[in-house]
Amino acid sequence: MEKPQPTAADRAQPRRPGAGDRAATYAALDLGTNNCRLLVARGMSRAGASGFTVIDAFSRIVRLGEGLAASGALCEAAMARTIDALKICAGKVAAHRVTGARYIATEACRRAVNCADFMARVQSETGLDLEIISTEEEARLVVAGCAPLLDRCVPHALVFDIGGGSTELAWVRLRDDAEPEILDSLSLPHGVVTLSDRYGGCEVSAATYAAMIDEVHAAIGVIEGRHGIGRHIAAGAVQMLGSSGTVTTLAAVHLALPHYSRRRVDGAMLSFDELRCASQLLARQSHAERARHPCIGLERADLVLAGCAILEAICLLWPVGRLRVADRGIREGILLGLVRH
C-alpha cells in the first residue's frame, strides 16, 4: 500500500520533542503590519541559563496593512503577498524539523474586520496557525527579547518598538536578581505605515513632519501622566532602548555603513543629538535619495520619516539623552519563552 504523503499543514506544524531528538529546534514568526519575520534556532543551556543559537532567518516586507486605515480590511493584494512569504516560512519550519514554535500576528490582524478569513486562508495554504496577540503581550515579548541589552545598574527603562501599525511603549523596573518587570505599557495606534498612509511618506514637508511629531507627542503623554517618568529621568534613573527598523536604520545612517550590519548596530548607543542629525539628514533627502541608501532601499523609503517623527516625539517628552539600539525584539522574546518551557 502506498504511504500517504504529508500535506502542507503536516509539514508546517512543529513536532513534539522526542527521545531521539539530539537538540530541540524552535521557530518564532512575527507577522506585523509591514514585515513578516521568522527565526529558527536551537536551544542551548549554559551554567543553568537557557538560550538559543539562530540557525536560519527570513524577513520580507509584505505591507499587510496596506490601505487598512482607510478601509478597515486587509486588501487582496496584501494578503496574497503575505501568504507567499508565509509559505517560505512554512518551508523553513519543515526543513529544520522544528520541535516547538509560536507564530504571532499583531496590529494589522487585530484591527482588520476580515482577519478571521485571512487566518483561515493562512492555515489552509501554509499550514501555519497564527495567533493574534494582545498589545500587552506584544510589549512583554519586546522587553523579554531585549532584556540582555538593559543595564541592571539603572533602575528603570523606557523600552519601545516602533512598528508598522502601532508603537508599543513599556515602563520597566530592573533588579539584579529578577527578570525586568513591566510596570505599565501603552500601545499607540501610530506606526510607520499608519502615519505614512495619512500624512504621506514620499515627499514630507517640514510642516508635515512637525504635525506627525505633535500628534505622537500628545498621545504618549498618557503614560507620563500616570508615572511622572520625567522625575526619574531628572534623577538619572532611566535608560532608553528602542527596538525597531527606525532605530536600527538611524544607527546605520549615523555609522555611515556601506551595507547593513547587525553586528555593528545591535547594542549600539547613540546620543539624542546623533539620532536627530541622522533624522534631519534623511528629512532633507528626496524619496529617490532615501531609496538609494544601502540601509533603507525602495521598500522602506516612504516609511522611514514617519518612524523618525515617532522617535523624535518620544525623545522630546523623555530627554534621557541617549538610546540603546536593539536589532532584536519579539522573535527573540518568543524563542526565549519556548526554550525555557
Task: For residues 239 and 323, give the distance between their C-alpha atoms in angstroms, rounded to a whole number.
Answer: 7
The mean per-residue pLDDT over the stretch 195-203 comes to 92
Judged against a pLDDT cut of 60, whether residue 270 lies above it is answered with yes
pLDDT value at residue 19: 37
The mean per-residue pLDDT over the stretch 84-101 comes to 97
Across the chain, the runs of DSSP E, i.e. the strands, are 25-31, 35-46, 49-61, 100-105, 131-132, 156-162, 167-173, 181-188, 238-243, 269-271, 322-326
Task: For residues 59 and 314, give the distance between their C-alpha atoms in angstroms, rounded to a whole number.
Answer: 27
**Nearest CA-CA partner of 85 in 45, 126, 33:** 126
What CATH superfamily classification does 149-330 receive?
Answer: Exopolyphosphatase. Domain 2 (3.30.420.150)
Confidence of residue 128 (pLDDT cuts 50, 70, 90): very high
pLDDT tens for each residue of 274-306: 999 999 999 999 999 999 999 999 999 999 999
How many other CB atoms are there within 10 angstroms of residue 203's CB atom? 10
pLDDT tens for each residue of 140-153: 999 999 999 999 99
The mean per-residue pLDDT over the stretch 101-106 comes to 98
CATH class for the domain made up of 8-133: alpha beta
Domain residue extents for the chain: 8-133, 149-330
Judged against a pLDDT cut of 90, whether residue 313 lies above it is answered with yes
The mean per-residue pLDDT over the stretch 119-133 comes to 97
pLDDT tens for each residue of 43-52: 986 655 678 9
Domains 8-133 and 149-330 share a fold: yes
Q: What is this structure's pTM?
A: 0.90
Confidence of residue 174 (pLDDT cuts 50, 70, 90): very high
pLDDT tens for each residue of 209-256: 999 999 999 999 999 999 999 999 999 999 999 998 999 999 999 999
Judged against a pLDDT cut of 70, whether residue 5 lies above it is answered with no
pLDDT value at residue 120: 97
Task: For residues 218 and 61, give the distance between their C-alpha atoms in angstroms, rounded to a whole number.
Answer: 29
The mean per-residue pLDDT over the stretch 189-209 comes to 93
Judged against a pLDDT cut of 50, whether residue 8 lies above it is answered with no
